Amino acid sequence: MNLSIGLLGCGTVGQGVVQLTDLRAHLIQELTGLRPVIRKVLVRDIDKPRAVSASTFSYTTNAQDIIGDNEIQIVIEVIGGVETARELIIQSLQSGKHVVTANKDLMALHGPEILEIAQENNVEILYEASVGGAIPLIKPLKDSLSANEITELKGIINGTTNYILTQMTATGADFAAALREAQDLGYAEANPTSDVAGLDAARKLTILASLAFYTKVRLDEVAVQGIESITAADVKFAAELGTVIKLLAVGTDKDGALSLAVRPTLIPRQHPLAQVSNSFNALYVKGDAAGELMFYGRGAGSLPTASAVMGDVIALMRDIRMGVSGRTAQMYMPHKRVDASTATPLRHYIRLTVTDQPGVFAEIAAGFAAANISMETVVQRQQKDVADIVIVTHPVSPAQLQGALSQLQQLPSVKQIHNVLPVEPDAG
């Protein structure tokens, strides 16, 4: 027995969905008792050359050909963007169709609304592919680990920035050169702002934190710092300190108060997250019953993302076969406040340029002492008339750190504070 599917979008991921559906149709039929068949595919240009052949389906430029087709039971959305995708998904749900989406932007901004509409219409919306590509993250947080109180998430969840930082570490290249290489290889978009500014990772953290901490998290509650300010000098200093720089998404729940941030972070080389290279992603999860877990794999790409999409499709097909619906219903989620002051105190890396003259370091040390901060490590590099100084502090609270920076900014000898980055503790 065939089950008809409509596909919204046939770009990189959409073509991967078509390929994987054709490749695994027989196996899926054995697993579910139903054979998935893509019947109609929404595209902007029917005549555009594509790597897949329309053997079982027809192309259309009218979404209503899919939404209004009563034989289609599952709609897969891979067009991206927010408003058009939101409108089409809502219409699909209201038409009684189950939906699978890979749209992180949509779920980060409108997830609660979309889930509520699915519940009202007694249909499902699944979104495993919205975070982490092929890595299963949504289902473990939503189902497998639901008996846990999860207190911490830490992840490298943007492949573009991870590739750039990996290349800067391996070759000594500056940020601009590493970005150009990532663009040439297709790891970075022509306009890479969403990735390098940390916005993509923040959207993914919004989704993950909502599930892990059992609350509604807004995107604007995530503190975001991108990697644009990271230089070859920072990467070199990090290596001297036995660390690597990664764009880390961090969420913690401490007694019902959340801390949420995306930021470049120095990670000790022996830490498992430091080994996550190039475009790979990883997520570390800490639960009270399960302990410490780490998920690792390819975070993007045509077939990896299609793998997650089809996993959701198979789950829906099983439900349809068994006559089950409504498992993704919105449950009551208590409000939890976001308070950065609850974040675990961390060591911090501070790189600054100062005038090279006697007494300067004594002034800096006095400023740290006034903020009640002690220094763990100091590295100094002389240049003409100036010196680069890197200070690694002992663990400090956000308030202490801000006090020290205010002290430094008032010193005439401090020419520039280049970067202030947290330093992760050693694993275990």
- Specify the DSSP element, H or E, that contains 295: strand 291-298
d(CA 185, CA 201): 20
208: nearest Cα among 295, 90, 337: 295
CA distances from 84 to 25, 43, 87, 131, 272 (A): 29, 13, 5, 20, 39
Of the residues 40, 97, 204, 286, only one is catalytic, namely: 204
Spatial CA neighbour of 136 closest among 297, 253, 10: 297
Domains of the chain with CATH codes: 2-133+302-322 (3.40.50.720), 138-297 (3.30.360.10), 345-423 (3.30.70.260)
- Among 99, 95, 96, 118, smallest CA distance to 8 is for 99
Q: What pTM was computed for the model? A: 0.94
Alpha carbon distance, N-terminus to C-terminus of the chain: 51
> pLDDT tens digits, the chain, 428 residues: what are they?
999 999 999 999 999 999 999 999 999 999 999 999 999 999 999 988 888 887 889 999 999 999 999 999 999 999 999 999 999 999 999 999 999 999 999 999 999 999 999 999 999 999 999 999 999 999 999 999 999 999 999 999 999 999 999 999 999 999 999 999 999 988 899 999 999 999 999 999 999 999 999 999 999 999 999 999 999 999 999 999 999 999 999 999 999 999 999 999 999 999 999 999 999 999 999 999 999 999 999 888 899 999 999 999 999 999 999 988 766 656 667 889 999 888 889 999 999 999 988 888 899 999 899 889 999 999 988 888 899 999 999 999 988 999 999 989 999 999 999 999 999 998 76
Query: Residue 326 region, left (φ>0) first, then alpha (ψ -120 to 50), else beta?
Result: left
- pLDDT for the residue 213: 96
Give the separation between CA 401 and CA 388, rounded to whole angstroms.
20
Distance between CA 393 and CA 235 in Å, rounded? 18
Residue 428: its pLDDT value, please? 60
| Torsion sign across C-alpha atoms 184, 186, 192, 196 | negative
139 as an active site residue: the answer is no
Yes or no: say if 347 and 393 are a contact pair by the CB < 8 Å rule.
yes
Contact 266, 349 (CB under 8 A): yes
DSSP string, 75-130: EEE---SSHHHHHHHHHHHHTT-EEEE--HHHHHHHHHHHHHHHHHTT--EE-GGG
